[in-house]
C-alpha cells in the first residue's frame, strides 16, 4: 500500500510517498481503507520534534516519538474510510461500514490502510456525511472538549474563544454553544461571518480591537491557538473565572499555582484523555445539525508537502483535508 512516510525529524521535505506493507487486523481490530485524513498541528510538531519550542521541549517530544528517529513512520491522527476487514472477535462493526475516528499519538492515518481497535476512538460516520467532511470531525473537537470540560458547567456563562477560526477554535465555538455558553469569538476580519454561523453571539476582529481593552468580562477565556497568556487575559476574567490553555508547559505550573492562590484559575492538565464515547457524541451532534467540520483546503496525497507547508503558515481556517484514495 502507499503511505506518506518520514525517517528523520525535519522540515516538510522529509516526507515522501512509499510502498509499505499493508497491516493485518488483530482479533479485536478493524482494517480500514482510508479515504480521507487531515494534516494538523500535531503532525507538524511531531515531524519537526517541536524544535521551535526549544531544546527541552524537543527532547521531550523525541522521548515520546523516538529519540534518534521516529518510531512511527506514518503520521496522521484522524481519518474517514470504509471497513475492509474485521478481526474474528469484532462484533460492533462489519465489512463495508463507513467509519471515522482518531488515532492520537499512534498516528498511521496518512496511508491507504489502517488498523484500529473496535473499542478505540472510532465510530460509524454521521449519516449524510462524506469522507472529506467526516475526516476532520475529531481532532479539533477532542481538543476543545478536553479544555471546555475543565471549566465545569457552561450553561448561561460568558465564554470567549480566542483564535475562533482554526480547527480547535471552530470546534470550541460550536461545542461551547452546545454546552449552553454565550460565546464571543475572536478572529480575523475574513472569518467574522463564519464565527457567527457557528454560533457566536458576539464577534471581535483582533485586527481592530483588543478584547482586553473593552468593558466585557468573561467566565471563561479559551486560548485555542496558544498565543495568549494568563497574565494578559486576567483583567478580562470574572472572579472565579477560568483561563483554558491548549498548550504551553508553563501553564501546568500556573494551573497548580492558581488552584490554591487567587480567585481566577488556569486550567490545563496532561495528558488529554479521549474515548469512543466522544466520537459518538460528535456523530450525534452532526446528525442533529449542532456541529460541522470547517474545511479550508483539500489536497491529494501526492501533494502532502504543500498541505503541510500551508498548515505551518498558521493561517488556515478550520481544517486541511488530505485525500488518501478516491
C-alpha cell at 252: 501546568
Residues 13 and 125 in one domain: yes
In a domain, 146, yes or no: no
Domain final residue, candidates 267, 282, 304? 267
8 A C-beta contact, residue 218 and residue 239 = no
For 2-47, what is each residue's pLDDT tens digit?
A: 999 999 999 999 999 999 999 999 999 999 999 999 999 999 999 9
The string of pLDDT tens digits covering residues 149-189 is 999 999 999 999 999 999 999 999 999 999 999 999 999 99
Beta strand spans in the chain (E): 2-5, 16-19, 29-39, 78-86, 98-102, 113-117, 122-124, 158-162, 182-187, 202-205, 218-223, 237-245, 265-267, 295-300, 319-323
Evaluate the CA torsion angle 197, 198, 204, 208 in order and state its sign.
negative
Residue showing cell 465545569: 152
Q: Facing residues of 136 across strands?
A: none
| Residue 175 sits in the same domain as residue 302 | no
Residue 144 lies in a domain: no
Inside any domain, residue 166: yes
Same domain, 6 and 133: yes
Q: Which of 220, 244, 267 is the last residue of a domain?
A: 267
Final residue belonging to a domain, choices 250, 267, 284: 267
Residues 261, 287, single domain; the answer is no
d(CA 151, CA 220): 7
Integer Cα distance of 258 and 204 in angstroms: 28
> pTM value?
0.93
Mean pLDDT, the chain, as a whole number?
Answer: 94
* Domain identity same for 84 and 168: no
* Residue 204 within any structural domain of the chain: yes
Say which residue the cell 464577534 belongs to: 203
180-220 confidence digits (pLDDT tens): 999 999 999 999 999 999 999 999 999 999 999 988 999 99
How many domains does the chain divide into? 2
Which residues form the domain of 164? Answer: 151-267
Amino acid at each position: 500500500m502507499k503511505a506518506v512516510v518520514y525517517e528523520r525529524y525535519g522540515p516538510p521535505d522529509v516526507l515522501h510517498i512509499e510502498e509499505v506493507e499493508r497491516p493485518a487486523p488483530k482479533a479485536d481490530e478493524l482494517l480500514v481503507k482510508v479515504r480521507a485524513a487531515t494534516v494538523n498541528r500535531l503532525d507538524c510538531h511531531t515531524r519537526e520534534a517541536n524544535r521551535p519550542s526549544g531544546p527541552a521541549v524537543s527532547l521531550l517530544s523525541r522521548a515520546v516519538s523516538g529519540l534518534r528517529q521516529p518510531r512511527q513512520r506514518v503520521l496522521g491522527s484522524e481519518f474517514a474510510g470504509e471497513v475492509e476487514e474485521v478481526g474474528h472477535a469484532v462484533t460492533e462493526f462489519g465489512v463495508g461500514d463507513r467509519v471515522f475516528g482518531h488515532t492520537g499519538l499512534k498516528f498511521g492515518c496518512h496511508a491507504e490502510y489502517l488498523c484500529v481497535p473496535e473499542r478505540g476512538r472510532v465510530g460509524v460516520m454521521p449519516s449524510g456525511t462524506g469522507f472529506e467532511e467526516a475526516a476532520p470531525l475529531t481532532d479539533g473537537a477532542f481538543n476543545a472538549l478536553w479544555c471546555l470540560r475543565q471549566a465545569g458547567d457552561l450553561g448561561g456563562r460568558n465564554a470567549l474563544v480566542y483564535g475562533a477560526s482554526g480547527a480547535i477554535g471552530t470546534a470550541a465555538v460550536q461545542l461551547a454553544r452546545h454546552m449552553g455558553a454565550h460565546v464571543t469569538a475572536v478572529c480575523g476580519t475574513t472569518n467574522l461571518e463564519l464565527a457567527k454561523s457557528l454560533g457566536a453571539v458576539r464577534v471581535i476582529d483582533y485586527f481592530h480591537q483588543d478584547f482586553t481593552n473593552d468593558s466585557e468580562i468573561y467566565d471563561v477565556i479559551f486560548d485555542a491557538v496558544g498565543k495568549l497568556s494568563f497574565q494578559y487575559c486576567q483583567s478580562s476574567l470574572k472572579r472565579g473565572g477560568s483561563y483554558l490553555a491548549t498548550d504551553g508547559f508553563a501553564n501546568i505550573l500556573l494551573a497548580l499555582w492558581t488552584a490554591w492562590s487567587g480567585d481566577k484559575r488556569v486550567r490545563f492538565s496532561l495528558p488529554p484523555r479521549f474515548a469512543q464515547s466522544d466520537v459518538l457524541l460528535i456523530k450525534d451532534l452532526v446528525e442533529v445539525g449542532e456541529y460541522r467540520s470547517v474545511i479550508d483546503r483539500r489536497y491529494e496525497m501526492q501533494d502532502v508537502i504543500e498541505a503541510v507547508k500551508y498548515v505551518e503558515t498558521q493561517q488556515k481556517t478550520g481544517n486541511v483535508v488530505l485525500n488518501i484514495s478516491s
